[in-house]
């Protein structure tokens, strides 16, 4: 598949089991190039697990994951490392190194994966920090900046190597609504200006509707629905409706026994 083709990632019949627990149970999706895809679903439904497969941090029980047409399942650790270099990743929580300055944090992938001189690395770090609105923050320590700023530093680090695909796991988690919407704007901005394909895991409806070109709803290890924000908003599915309106009454049980919970997980 060439870079002009519409799908950058194609997932075919992806199944992941942890022991008896089937977390992903036959996922088939396509991630369009240059667009923002949001993966939605309730807590524990397997969003992070799914994302970790896309960046080759998990091996599936079965199925295929094609990135630019090449299957990344079953690659050696060395080959997977090469694949991972194509990607930027913003982990759930910012995962900054607390003993390093902001600038040193952003420089980590550049030092690890390139032979660039310290002077060039300093320039790239400055540019990346400028892109996320943090000009002049190189020498700050993570504890001296807010949670929203930490997310932006993590984002600058995620785009340090100019990836064509960036993955975000719950970018707005733990942030106030205004800061979370700022992060959304940044994701939109970077995706459109730098022509990056973005895959965002989120259970924040507002955020998903703000940024998504495509929304994938996961439920019980399967894809429940794929569509644009409008299509999901107007979904006839009762789970999707309960989910987007954040209601505690409906098809998702509030009270259940641990046996019923386990049974629900295992029956996926």
Tokens of 60: 């599936």
Question: In the set 22, 25, 37, 48, which binds Mg ion (CB under 5 A)?
Answer: 48
Based on the shown chain and the rule CB under 6 A, indicate whether residue 198 belongs to the binding site for ligand ATP. no
Based on the shown chain and the rule CB under 6 A, indicate whether residue 53 belongs to the binding site for ligand ATP. no
Which of 175, 238, 231 has its CA nearest to residue 207? Answer: 175
Point out which span in 26-34, 44-52, 109-117, 155-163 binds Mg ion (CB under 5 A). 44-52
> Minimum CB separation from ligand ATP for residue 221, in Å?
9
> Minimum CB separation from Mg ion for residue 121, in Å?
32
Q: How many residues bind ligand ATP (CB under 6 A)?
A: 12
Taking the least distance from each CB to Mg ion, the nearer of 22 and 48 is 48
Based on the shown chain and the rule CB under 6 A, indicate whether residue 43 belongs to the binding site for ligand ATP. yes
Question: In the set 45, 121, 183, 199, which binds ligand ATP (CB under 6 A)?
Answer: 45
Taking the least distance from each CB to ligand ATP, the nearer of 44 and 74 is 44
Based on the shown chain and the rule CB under 6 A, indicate whether residue 18 belongs to the binding site for ligand ATP. yes
Q: How many residues bind Mg ion (CB under 5 A)?
A: 1
Based on the shown chain and the rule CB under 5 A, indicate whether residue 49 belongs to the binding site for Mg ion. no
DSSP class per residue in the chain: --TTSSEEEEEEEEEEEETTEEEEEEEEEEEETTSEEEEE--TTSSHHHHHHHHTTSS--SEEEEEETTEE-TT--HHHHHHHHTTEEEE-SS----TTS-HHHHHHHHHHHH----HHHHHHHHHHHHHHTT-TT-TT--GGGS-HHHHHHHHHHHHTTT--SEEEEESTTTTS-HHHHHHHHHHHHHHHHHTT-EEEEE---HHHHHHH-SEEEEEETTEEEEEE-HHHHHT---HHHHHHHHT-SSSSS-SS--HHHHHHHHHT-
Burial of 254 (0-12, 13-18, 19+ CB in 10 A): exposed
Taking the least distance from each CB to ligand ATP, the nearer of 118 and 253 is 253
The CB density around residue 88, as the number of other CB atoms within 10 Å, is 26
Based on the shown chain and the rule CB under 6 A, indicate whether residue 261 belongs to the binding site for ligand ATP. no
> Minimum CB separation from ligand ATP for residue 10, in Å?
20
> Minimum CB separation from Mg ion for residue 185, in Å?
23
According to CB under 6 A, which residues from 199 to 258 bind ligand ATP? 203
Find the helix packing angle between 118-131 and 102-113, rounded to 10°. 120
Integer Cα distance of 9 and 203 in angstroms: 22
Taking the least distance from each CB to Mg ion, the nearer of 33 and 219 is 219
Based on the shown chain and the rule CB under 6 A, indicate whether residue 22 belongs to the binding site for ligand ATP. no
Point out which span in 43-51, 99-107, 159-167, 256-264 binds ligand ATP (CB under 6 A). 43-51
> Minimum CB separation from ligand ATP for residue 24, in Å?
9
Binding positions for Mg ion, rule: CB under 5 A: 48
Binding positions for ligand ATP, rule: CB under 6 A: 18, 21, 23, 41, 43-49, 203
């Amino acid at each position: 598949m060439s870079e002009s083709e519409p799908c950058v990632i194609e997932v075919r019949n992806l199944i992941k089991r942890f022991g008896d627990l089937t977390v992903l149970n036959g996922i088939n999706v396509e991630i369009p190039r240059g667009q923002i895809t949001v993966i939605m679903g309730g807590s524990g439904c397997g969003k992070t697990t799914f994302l970790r497969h896309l960046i080759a941090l998990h091996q599936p029980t079965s199925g295929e994951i094609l990135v630019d047409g090449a299957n990344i399942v079953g690659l050696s650790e060395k080959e997977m490392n090469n694949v991972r270099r194509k990607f930027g990743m913003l982990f759930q929580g910012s995962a900054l190194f607390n003993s390093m300055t902001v600038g040193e944090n952003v420089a980590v992938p550049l030092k690890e994966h390139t032979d660039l001189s310290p002077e060039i690395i300093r320039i790239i770090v400055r540019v990346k920090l400028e892109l996320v609105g943090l000009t002049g923050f190189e020498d700050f320590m993570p504890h001296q900046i807010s949670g929203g700023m930490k997310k932006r530093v993590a984002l600058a680090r995620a785009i340090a190597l100019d990836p064509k695909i960036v993955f975000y796991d719950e970018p707005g988690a733990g942030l106030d609504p205004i800061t979370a919407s700022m992060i959304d704007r940044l994701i939109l901005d970077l995706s459109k200006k730098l022509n990056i394909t973005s895959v965002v895991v989120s259970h924040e409806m507002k955020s998903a509707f703000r940024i998504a070109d495509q929304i994938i709803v996961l439920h019980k290890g399967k894809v429940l629905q794929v569509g644009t924000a409008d299509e999901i908003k107007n979904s006839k599915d009762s789970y999707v409706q309960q989910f987007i309106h954040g209601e505690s009454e409906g098809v998702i049980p509030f009270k259940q026994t641990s046996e019923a919970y386990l049974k629900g997980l295992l029956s996926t």
